[in-house]
Amino acid sequence: MKAASLARTLAALLAGIVCLAGCVSTGPAPVGAGGDGAQPAASMPGGGTAYVPAQPYDITPLLHPKHKYFGATFDGVPKDLGPVRSYAAKVGRTPTMLEYYLGWGDELQTDQTRAVWKNGQLPYIAWEPHKVTLAQIADGGQDEYIVRTARTLRALNVPVAISLAHEMNGAWYPWGTKKATAAQFVKAWRHVHDVFQDEGVSTVIWVWSPNVINPVPQVALKPYYPGDGYVDWVGVVGYYARTGAQDFPALFGPTFRQIRTFTRRPFLLAETGAQPTPRKSAQITELVKTVAAGGDIVGFIWFDLDKETDWRVDSSTETLAAFRRAARNPRYDLDFSALK
């Protein structure tokens, strides 16, 4: 074990000893503690009061539940959860996963993350290192921020999914193939994961999230894979555009097959959507049905934004009707309370 890792582990153990000595509950849990018997500890970055969890949330039942995640992302979340309610009314089903983005160096908003979970959605955080390089993360230069974020999540004690540096196999992000190597990505991913582990964080579902290989067939995915010990889900990003792959097997099949040569971790469609074309209704129907039937796919996240093009499910009355019909599938009747 490296010296820095050993130091963090010892610090976490000492913190636990101090907590045992001075954080003993003297009454019922305060309102907002999540009902876990936790007691107030300190003010946290992003607002609100931190709590020391008496019992860490067990994410194991969330990793591959019997039913599927019905996810989405919208403008304004997680600060405003109004779009979630509007979407639920529009499509006839309440999302059970909500994706939003955290810029590297920004503080995780504890009140907002807790509110997402209490609203009935698993928080899915796409952590984007725009301000630093993967090499700087891997070499420990960002440890103060990583440790602070880890401790915030440990105190928050609600399950979250985290995708670090998504679509790393493409060239369109600063952490992509033009400015970082596969080895740097793997080293950075493992370092962040190890820091979280050293800090005693057990409530994170780690989502390794490549783009579909269709636009970058020359970039092999295996060199970017951190290993099964560092990944819980494979979060594939893929969109139906006006040109290119027009059905599920063509869009996702080549990527799924390549990934299955080196891991059996479950798939999540971490971001998906379809441009407005005469094929969009059929693409929606096929995607939602295929995910529901797929034994190794845990769910999908629909990118419900009008950004560059109108990816939203209601880009036409026909596409909304198709989505509403597909969303009735009982395979998406995920009940978090039944998983505990």
Q: What is the mean pLDDT of residues 282-304?
A: 98
- Output the pLDDT for position 125: 98
Which H or E run contains 3?
helix 3-22
More confident residue, 223 or 45: 223
Q: What is the pLDDT of residues 146-161, one digit of tens each?
A: 999 999 999 999 999 9
Q: Which helix (H) or strand (E) holds 185?
A: helix 182-198
pTM of the model: 0.86
Half-sphere exposure of 112 (CA within 13 A, CB side): 20
For residue 34, name the pLDDT band (cuts at 50, 70, 90): very low
How does residue 299 score in pLDDT terms, banded at 50, 70 and 90? Answer: very high
Check residues 9 and 75 and name the one with the higher pLDDT.
75
Query: Among 290, 238, 231, which Cα is nearest to 264's?
Result: 231
Asked if the peptide bond before residue 276 counts as cis, ω within 30 degrees of 0, the response is: no
Of 263, 325, 246, 291, whose CA–CA distance to 97 is shortest?
A: 291
Tokens of 300: 């999908």
CA 174 – CA 120 distance, rounded (Å): 33
**Average pLDDT score, the chain:** 89
* Per-residue pLDDT, 340: 73
The backbone torsions φ and ψ at residue 125, rounded to the nearest 5 degrees and listed phi first, read -105, 115
Number of helical H runs and strand E runs in the chain: 10, 12
Q: What is the DSSP string of 90-156?
A: HHTS--SEEEEEEETTSPP-HHHHHHHHHTT-EEEEEEE--SS-HHHHHTTTTHHHHHHHHHHHHHH
The pLDDT confidence band at residue 21, using thresholds 50, 70 and 90, is: very low
